[in-house]
Amino acid sequence: MEPIFRDGKRNRRPTSCEQCRTRKLRCSRGTPCDECVKRGKGESCAYASNAIRNKPKARELQDRLRKVEDMVSELARQNRLSQEMTIISRNEIGENLKASYASPSSVKVPGCATTSPRVRNALRPPREEHKVTLQSSPWLSIVDEIKEIREQLAVTPSSIPEETLDREDVDLVLGAAHLPTIAEIVGSLPPRPVCDTLVSYYFGSKYMVFPIIHTTKFQTEYEKFWMNPHAAPVLWIGLLYAVLSVSSGFRQIRTGGSFESPITIGALQTKTIQCLLLGKYIHASEYVLETLILHLESKFIGSVDSSLDLWHLMGIIIRTAMRLGYHRDAKVFGERLSPFDGEMRRRVWHTILQMDGLMSFQMGVPSMIPMEYCNTSIPSNLKDSDFSPESTSLPPARPLTDDTPVLYTIVKAGVMDMFKKVVAGTQSPSSPSYASTIALDASIREIYSTIPDAFRMKPISQSLMDSSAVIMNRCAVEVLFLKSIIVLHRPYLSTETSNPQYDFSRLAAVDAALVILHRQDELHETSQPGGRLYEDRWMISSLTLHDFLLAAMVVCLSLSLGLKSPSESSWASRGHDFEGQLKALEKSKTIWDSTSHVSTEARTAAHILELMIRKVKGKKAGKGAGIQESTTALSINVSESLSQTLVEEPHVDAMLDMFCDERSVDWRSFDQYVHEIGSPGPNIQMPEMDWDLFGLDPSRGENL
């Protein structure tokens, strides 16, 4: 190994001039340097032939800035001294005036012998050249210094390393993007008539349009933008691109891809990302959250399956919101926030809160928002016309019977709060007591009973006078309520099945799942050609698909428990409708089949339900024709089906494992696994397979 230190001194190139090196002074490395200039030795300031004079640019800038600071300090000192002299002169003149009333002969006139020299000097008008030196010269010097510093900071492209010019700005979530100029971004916008149409379509939509943009304020900013596009903040331009992207996504899905636009949705999303990066969104405050939320929504629209990228983007949104204090109510900030800004912050925060609750559950992980540190109030039920940036106070909230852009968020807030509590309890390392589960069930049902009648679900066939958005909002609130019931009680589906103590939980979870499957059937039927929701079928999002899959798996587990019951009558005596559950699964399987060509989750659900239905029917047939023969025949059919299925969808076996051993179902793994479907190589440990349940014998090679 070579020695770390070498013999002899290192021949390091000097950076200071010869004079400063001799005197052991700090050299500014100028030509001449500052120290030589101070000593009148500027002409003798010389550097060694191999000296490095231009490397420490930062040191030169620091010296120049320090010089500017000294000049400002000197001006402040002179100004303070001048004010003191003025005060002293005024006081002495006042004393002389007072004395004049008592003795006119004792009047002290400024400039006379009886006036103190200090006052005479302070009151004497300065000479013109001194006035110029005091008031103009220092300021001109400061301006010159600032100008020179600015010129040094304005590095020319020729001085930038070539590898820096070729490097793209990379964001771990948004990705790499070449940052164009503002002129290029503005020039990429569609013509104004197209923008007008898309903006109008966005704000005219009533479903999946978050109430985070004040329509009146945006209209004013929009008109101002077109008068001078290049003067608009880059993040506002990003917000405009995000609005255009979401609106284009709505129209693209609604028209079945026939909507034509001069710019694609992908290009609009790219421009949104460029504006976010160009506007330094991590450090920005205005327009950043609205732009990020709409960009996430744009990526979400049309997404059939789950996306891990969107969940990571949700994390960026949450951290940005908390950095900006959105998790604290506007009242905490007092007069620093206007009533308008405070109300809009409430809308943005509760939108983020609800998005996090749904996406985190879908990912099978806890919420990213620590609720114990949040106190932002629910927004008031107000129309955008009720308040504006000029409002000095907010008007009284409208009743919940008045439809406003924020009404859905308000109504959903209470149900979402209970859902987050349920999820937090089930994801806790310690299991809650059964008494607390029953109490939470009562609270959930009470909250849902208080929602306005306009948001209570009723058959779609009886909603002819309601818009598609109203129908879907009702459905979303109802499914969230039912999902809360399922998540709360599903741990008891596989706990001591013979213990009647938990029958309430089993029935509550299964009944809620059956209602969700009925809603799936109703929505599917009305979204077919000629149906009530055909033109708005895009409203069924991937979050809703996840809810349908959850409900189907709960019914599958219930049927598997019923098959292990001594008899069908004994299972029915505990409140279960065996035939009704099987029929619901058959309908759900048909629906999943119809969308399996575009969704990995749909294919998985269809395979699972098909195998479960075969098993249930075979078991029922075996009871009348000899269970041994029918089980053997069924095992061959199921084995062949599994072999073909696992070649096409290799992840189905893990899903089967999960629901074939009802004694060890890990529901958190299920939530997480639903996301992992479609990702290469999901690595989640599932319970051991209950081979007997599917009539397979591992000893004969009939395994997965």
pLDDT of 15-72, one tens digit each?
788 888 887 787 887 878 888 887 877 778 888 765 544 444 555 666 666 777 677 7
Q: What is the mean pLDDT of residues 283-297?
A: 94
What is the Cα–Cα distance from 388 to 397, expressed in whole angstroms? 15
What are the tens digits of pLDDT across the range 344-381? 999 999 999 999 998 888 888 889 999 899 999 999 99
- CB-CB neighbours of 610 under 10 Å: 18
Q: What is the DSSP letter of 499?
A: -
pLDDT in tens, 307-326: 678 888 999 999 999 999 99
In angstroms, the CA 649 to CA 607 distance is 9
Rounded to the nearest integer, the mean pLDDT of the chain is 75
Give the separation between CA 294 and CA 412, rounded to whole angstroms. Answer: 20
For residue 112, the model assigns a pLDDT of: 42
pLDDT at 74: 74
pTM for the structure as a whole: 0.68
More confident residue, 430 or 190: 190
Average the pLDDT over each of 198-212, 338-352, 542-556 and give the range with the smallest value.
Answer: 542-556
Percent over 70 (pLDDT), the chain: 64
pLDDT digits (tens, 9 = 90+) for 569-622: 655 656 677 788 889 999 999 998 887 777 777 787 788 788 878 877 776 666
- Inform me whether the pLDDT recorded for 405 exceeds 70: yes
Give residue 494's identity as a one-letter amino acid code. Answer: S
Write the DSSP assignment of 541-583 as a string of letters.
-HHHHHHHHHHHHHHHHHHHHHHTSS-HHHHHHTT--HHHHHH
Look at 245 and 260; give whichever has higher pLDDT.
245
CA 300 to CA 544: how far, in whole Å? 13
